A and B are shown apart, each in its own frame.
Chain A
Amino acid sequence: MSRYDLVLHVGMPRSGAVLRRALVRLRPQLRTHAVALVGGAQIDGLQHAAGWQCGRGARGRDASMFERELAAAVTEEQRHAAGIRGRLPVRTVVSSNRLLGMGPVGRRDAEQFRPYATMATAQVVKALSARRVQVVLYTHRQDRLMELSYLKRLRSGQQVAFEDEFPNRFEPVLDYLDLIDRLRAVPNVSDVVVRPLELVDAGQHAFVNDFLGLFGLENALDLNAMGIDPLPYPSVYSARAAQLALALVPLTDTPAERRRVGAYVWKHYQASERYPTDLLGRDVRQRILDCYADRNRELFRTHLPDLPADSYSDDPSTFALGNVLSQPEPTSAGSAPVWTAATRAATDAVAKLERRARPVADRARRTISRAQRSR
């Protein structure tokens, strides 16, 4: 880590969210290790965030203001980290999915995968006057990436067929190797490290520990401080929600009706243990994987030599990527909780209780209102 003064954590949808939620909880510990963390929410909250050239809607005239505000936010965080460890050189981690460009993957990626990635990253590097930059890129297997992006788009209320959203789905346009080359070409970016998002299957602790290990903090933090991730599932529609939305939304006539349908579908059918996101049929999925097989094999050989080259070739994956991570050493009393099982069990239990309690609450409300009326 000492070789780099700035680490940019970028990822495909979901990888960023899982890590950012965890890192924010670990911020105090990161400061004690002289690591200044600036997350996506902080950047999005800047007054001139629209000046970040990460999408079609970016405002060019706000670019310099955005850069100044970002530099100020990072400096502020660096001061905190430096204050704790005296005059030690501070390492900075900036984590935002917008470093690859705004919005979910879709039609606009057909010509070039994440076309704004270079511009958005270069602007941050320039704003922070970083000289040695490491980019940590989290990949997501293309079929899953398309699936989740599509489910996200439906969640936002748009009605579009999967085939229309990804007309080039059977061509290797979502090419990580090309994206890595473009990120590497950004001035002052010295290295691009690649990690597959699928490692998250090993559990929250193992996944976060793996990320921390990239800059020498493996097993150095008390990961129990993260708590249980409140959102262990991607924040998208489930496959069933998508089917319902595609069936119901065309029957609506007004935006208000669409909102009501959207709220119903989201409330009852968001992605969860009960409602998975497996939208694609087996044949389509395998066809997509086949068309990316060569490029993905090359990706693993070149950038992930410690993992099997065929990790992204089949579904279900020939190699369960989650199994390659070892669980971190427990750093506080008790053993490190297994995130996946515990969180999902807790979330499902809460959802079940809510479902059971709803009719009781409704009945109580009706009784109260009846009593009030009769009084």
Chain B
Amino acid sequence: MSLPDKRFVCHVGAHVTGARQVQRYLRDNVDQLERQGLHCVPRALMGKLVGWGPKLVADPDRFAQELGSAWRSPGIDGVLVSHENTIGRPFGDGGGGLYAGALPTLEALAGVSEPAQRTVVLSVRPQADFLESYYLQTISEGAWHTFDDWLGALDLDDISWMPLHEQLIATFGVDAVRVLDFAEVGSDPVAHVREFFRLIGVDLPADLHVSPVHHPRPSEKGMRMVLAANPYVRTTDERMGLRAFLQKNFSDRDYPSPTLLTVEQRAELNDRYGDEYRRLVAAQPVGEARP
């Protein structure tokens, strides 16, 4: 069955590239987007249907049913999801760049959305920023490895975005894939949301109101504290409590930022990946805006 007049728009992350900002906007503007014919699947539901990928591969029918029921709804001609865990985790075993294990999930996603016209958005940021932010995310989620230990376990020659991008193109077609440059718009929530919707070809109101998702980064001192405390923090609510405490009291708003990558390491990563990153984010095909 082909549904050429129906759309499926999927924002697949990646992690630490501002996916939460897009998700916040979708959550806060469900009604307005419905009026524009776009049904948003809540992130929590995506967690149940897709999880970190294997759930969708094992049981694609549940997600297919969700899509089908949305498409059949009167006035709805598109389904919009934003879920960064869809493509799994960025660092896996073996080669293949970032998110090397994403292919089975992407194929399952392509399978369930096949009848519709599809757009897939991948948010990216330069490797150096990505590494630093992802490390901070791991410790805010409870790990207590030092940055050097964590970095030492990675193959820095194998953290290109290109293989993932190529997989997306191979799975969904070159016209369906968009890349959002977080480095360009990430600091401005309004510009970020506008850019996302520009890429998928959906008009937004001129007086756009966006609630910023502001997670202060830990300071150097905050980072040392979280590393010291994490061995004793076990449950989710304890971790949330620690995170909130450190964000409130020891963030980089009031204290010096942590120094993670050295200047040399940054320069090396830039030499290694700078050109391909610029090629990746340049000359994006832009979706046709719909009324």
| Chain A, residue nearest B222 (CB) | A251
| Chain B, residue nearest A244 (CB) | B232
A248 to B249, CA, bound (A): 13
| Chain A, residue nearest B241 (CB) | A268
Q: Is the CB of A268 within 8 A of B238?
A: yes
Contact of A247 with B241 at beta-carbon distance under 8 Å, contacts A260-B249, A370-B211 already known: no
User: Which residues does chain B contribute within 8 Å of A247, judged by CB atoms?
Assistant: 228-229, 231-232
Tell me how far the C-beta of A154 lies from the nearest C-beta in chain B, rounded to whole angstroms: 14
Identify which of residues 348-373 in chain A touch chain B, using a CB-to-CB cut-off of 8 Å: 355, 370
Identify which of residues 238-261 in chain A touch chain B, using a CB-to-CB cut-off of 8 Å: 240, 243-244, 247-248, 251, 257, 260
Contact of A264 with B211 at beta-carbon distance under 8 Å, contacts A240-B232, A248-B229, A251-B224 already known: no
A295 to B180, CA, bound (A): 75
Contact with B along A226-247 (1 / 0, CB 8 A): 0000000000000010011001
Contact of A355 with B237 at beta-carbon distance under 8 Å, contacts A248-B229, A260-B249 already known: yes
Q: Is the CB of B238 within 8 A of A248?
A: no
User: Which residues does chain A contribute within 8 Å of B211, judged by CB atoms?
Assistant: 370
| Chain B, residue nearest A239 (CB) | B232
Q: Is the CB of A243 within 8 A of B232?
A: yes
Identify which of residues 239-276 in chain B touch chain A, using a CB-to-CB cut-off of 8 Å: 241-242, 245, 249
* Interface assignment of B225: CB less than 8 Å from any CB of chain A: yes
CB < 8 Å neighbour of A251 from B209, B221, B233, B238: B221
| Chain B, residue nearest A366 (CB) | B211
A257 to B211, CA, bound (A): 31
Tell me how far the C-beta of B148 lies from the nearest C-beta in chain A, rounded to whole angstroms: 19
User: Which residues does chain A contribute within 8 Å of B249, judged by CB atoms?
Assistant: 257, 260, 264
Q: How many chain B residues have a CB neighbour from A under 8 Å?
A: 16
Tell me how far the C-beta of B215 lies from the nearest C-beta in chain A, rounded to whole angstroms: 14
CB < 8 Å neighbour of A248 from B209, B228, B237: B228
A301 to B249, CA, bound (A): 55
Tell me how far the C-beta of B72 lies from the nearest C-beta in chain A, rounded to whole angstroms: 33
User: Which residues does chain B contribute within 8 Å of A355, judged by CB atoms?
Assistant: 237
Q: Is the CB of A264 within 8 A of B245?
A: yes
Q: Is the CB of A244 within 8 A of B237?
A: no
A65 to B211, CA, bound (A): 64
Q: Is the CB of A251 within 8 A of B245?
A: no
Tell me how far the C-beta of B219 lies from the nearest C-beta in chain A, rounded to whole angstroms: 11
| Chain A, residue nearest B224 (CB) | A251
Identify which of residues 321-375 in chain A touch chain B, using a CB-to-CB cut-off of 8 Å: 355, 370, 374
Tell me how far the C-beta of B189 lies from the nearest C-beta in chain A, rounded to whole angstroms: 13
| Chain B, residue nearest A374 (CB) | B209
| Chain A, residue nearest B237 (CB) | A355
Q: Is the CB of B228 within 8 A of A251?
A: yes
A19 to B202, CA, bound (A): 69
A370 to B221, CA, bound (A): 30
Contact with A along B208-224 (1 / 0, CB 8 A): 01010000000001001
| Chain B, residue nearest A253 (CB) | B221
Tell me how far the C-beta of A281 lies from the nearest C-beta in chain B, rounded to whole angstroms: 16
User: Which residues does chain B contribute within 8 Å of A248, judged by CB atoms?
Assistant: 225, 228-229
User: Which residues does chain A contribute within 8 Å of B221, judged by CB atoms?
Assistant: 251
A260 to B228, CA, bound (A): 16
Tell me how far the C-beta of A367 lies from the nearest C-beta in chain B, rounded to whole angstroms: 9
Tell me how far the C-beta of B227 lies from the nearest C-beta in chain A, rounded to whole angstroms: 9
A257 to B246, CA, bound (A): 11
CB < 8 Å neighbour of B229 from A244, A260, A374: A244
Tell me how far the C-beta of A239 lies from the nearest C-beta in chain B, rounded to whole angstroms: 10
A374 to B209, CA, bound (A): 10
A264 to B225, CA, bound (A): 13
A248 to B201, CA, bound (A): 49
A243 to B224, CA, bound (A): 15
Tell me how far the C-beta of A193 lies from the nearest C-beta in chain B, rounded to whole angstroms: 42
Tell me how far the C-beta of B259 lies from the nearest C-beta in chain A, rounded to whole angstroms: 16
A264-B242, A264-B249 known; 11 other A-B pairs, CB under 8 Å? A244-B233, A247-B228, A247-B232, A248-B225, A248-B229, A251-B224, A251-B225, A251-B228, A264-B241, A264-B245, A268-B241
5 contacts between A and B (CB under 8 A): A244-B229, A247-B228, A260-B245, A264-B249, A268-B238
> Residues of B at under 8 Å CB distance from A?
209, 211, 221, 224-225, 228-229, 231-233, 237-238, 241-242, 245, 249
Nearest 7 interchain pairs by C-beta:
A247-B228, A264-B245, A243-B232, A260-B249, A268-B241, A244-B232, A251-B224
